[in-house]
Amino acid sequence: MANAINVPPIKRWQTWYMLLAFFYMYLPIGVLTIFSFNKSPSPSQWAGFSLDWYAKFLQNEILRAALKNSLSIALASVSVSAVLGTLTAVGLARYYFPGKSLYRGVTYLPLIVPDIAIAVATLVFFAAIKLPLSLGTIVIAHIVFCLAYVAVVVSSRLASIDPKLEEAALDLGATPVQAFLRVLLPQLLPGILSGCLLAFILSMDDFVIAYFTAGVGSTTLPIAIFSSLRSGGVTPELNALSVLLILASASIAAIAEAIRSWGTHD
């Protein structure tokens, strides 16, 4: 009978270090959440529990219009990136062509290039082609980095799929398009969904690129929050909005990870 593997217990200092790290990371979020329920508009005193600030956020037409713009931009960017990112990942993994390594590096470059550099480069490009800034220009700019994130997640999923399945479908008479749609795409679906959810979060939270490429009347939610902070400082209404954004981002991230894990163990 094989001896059981003895797993050493976690040392006490490691436990305290982990707790201290979590406390350091999430203390600001905890304080933000508490004061979002503060009846008083002053962040320095507690006047009782209230949900008034959440109701006021929902009644704020400027923030609601900005939220609508952000959702429209994120949905449009992710929709295009889902198609282009998936095709990019499949092309890089399944086909060979001159300059493939260079193309792969260029595709994943937005993941490491600072946002400010992408924002300035995009703005200069739009100015060079004389394209007026609008919601459409923000979508175009967001597709640049959303595509890269979708391609990375789909590529990781694609690496675990046996290419012989597609070869078998081709040997049985399927066309390359049929083999992709009926064999490869269903297996890639968890990775595609996970990548799209991740790209959606990044698009919703983006400030720098949207700020440089936004036109008149195309204010996104992060830009509206920044403008409110500059004009009126931190208010309980913005605290409530921030809590809702944190909950939404955490939920989407959890769903994306669950889909990714489900696809990995499928």
Residue 191 lies in a domain: yes
Are 121 and 140 contained in the same domain?
Answer: yes
Are 33 and 127 contained in the same domain?
Answer: no
Residue 4 lies in a domain: no
What is the C-alpha R_g of the chain?
A: 23
**95 CB-contact burial (10 Å; exposed 0-12 / middle 13-18 / buried 19+):** exposed
Residue 239 lies in a domain: yes
Q: Considering only CA atoms, which of 117, 122, 146, 118 is closest in space to residue 133? A: 122
Residue 1 lies in a domain: no
Domain count across the chain: 2
End-to-end C-alpha distance for the chain, whole angstroms = 32
The predicted structure's pLDDT at residue 44: 64
The predicted structure's pLDDT at residue 33: 84
Residue 38, classed as helix, strand or coil, is strand
Are 219 and 232 contained in the same domain?
Answer: yes
Q: pTM for this one? A: 0.81
Written as six digits, the tokens of 127 are 């100015």
Are 140 and 197 contained in the same domain?
Answer: yes
Written as six digits, the tokens of 9 are 């217990």
The predicted structure's pLDDT at residue 53: 82
Are 42 and 86 contained in the same domain?
Answer: no
**214 CB-contact burial (10 Å; exposed 0-12 / middle 13-18 / buried 19+):** buried
Are 180 and 253 contained in the same domain?
Answer: yes
Written as six digits, the tokens of 211 are 């700020």
Are 118 and 151 contained in the same domain?
Answer: yes
Are 40 and 167 contained in the same domain?
Answer: no
Residue 242 lies in a domain: yes
Are 256 and 230 contained in the same domain?
Answer: yes
Residue 57 lies in a domain: yes
Are 44 and 123 contained in the same domain?
Answer: no
- Alpha-helical regions (H) of the chain: 12-36, 52-59, 61-94, 100-108, 115-128, 135-158, 164-171, 176-179, 185-205, 208-213, 221-232, 236-264
The predicted structure's pLDDT at residue 156: 85
Written as six digits, the tokens of 203 are 């698009």
CATH number at residue 238: 1.10.3720.10
Are 185 and 105 contained in the same domain?
Answer: yes
Residue 254 lies in a domain: yes
Per-residue tens of pLDDT for the chain, all 266 residues: 445 555 455 567 788 888 888 888 888 888 888 888 877 777 667 777 878 888 887 788 888 889 899 999 999 999 999 999 999 998 888 777 788 888 888 888 888 888 999 999 999 999 999 999 999 999 999 999 999 999 998 988 888 887 788 778 878 888 888 888 888 888 888 889 988 998 999 999 899 999 999 988 888 999 988 888 887 677 777 888 888 888 888 888 888 878 777 755 55
Domain assignment of residue 141, given as a range: 52-264
Are 65 and 142 contained in the same domain?
Answer: yes
The predicted structure's pLDDT at residue 258: 81
Count CA atoms within 13 Å of residue 24 on its CB side.
6
Structural contact between residues 197 and 105, judged by C-beta atoms closer than 8 angstroms: no
Residue 167 lies in a domain: yes
